Amino acid sequence: MKLDFKSPSAVEFCLQHIAQNSELLSSTPLWLNADIWNGPGGPPSPFDQNVFVAQCLTASASRPVTLSLGWTTRGFLEPYTALHIDEAIASLKSLGILLQDKAGIVQCTYL
């Protein structure tokens, strides 16, 4: 199940609902998605990246969770730049998330 959050106010409510129904959902993979970085031509992200990741890590204490983090965009009129990538990598490292490249697939793990 992928939850694609557009509003920070929805995160806590949804995670509480999942926790309350953990037995029913225990075998369902959980992906938590939000655009936490400002992307090319996109509006400012409504998310505080520290808060969103902390909420996801709390949810992952009781079950495996995949973080799906991205950038705000407005179509594909402007390209991503090296600066976008560098800022995201620095952000992930500051949040305690380590990127590992294995067989051409980038996976996130926690420090």
Separation of alpha carbons 107 and 99, rounded Å: 6
Q: Could you read off the pLDDT tens digit of each residue along the chain, which spans 111 residues?
A: 899 999 999 999 999 998 888 888 778 888 999 999 999 888 999 999 999 999 988 888 778 888 899 999 887 778 888 898 899 989 988 888 766 554 444 444 444
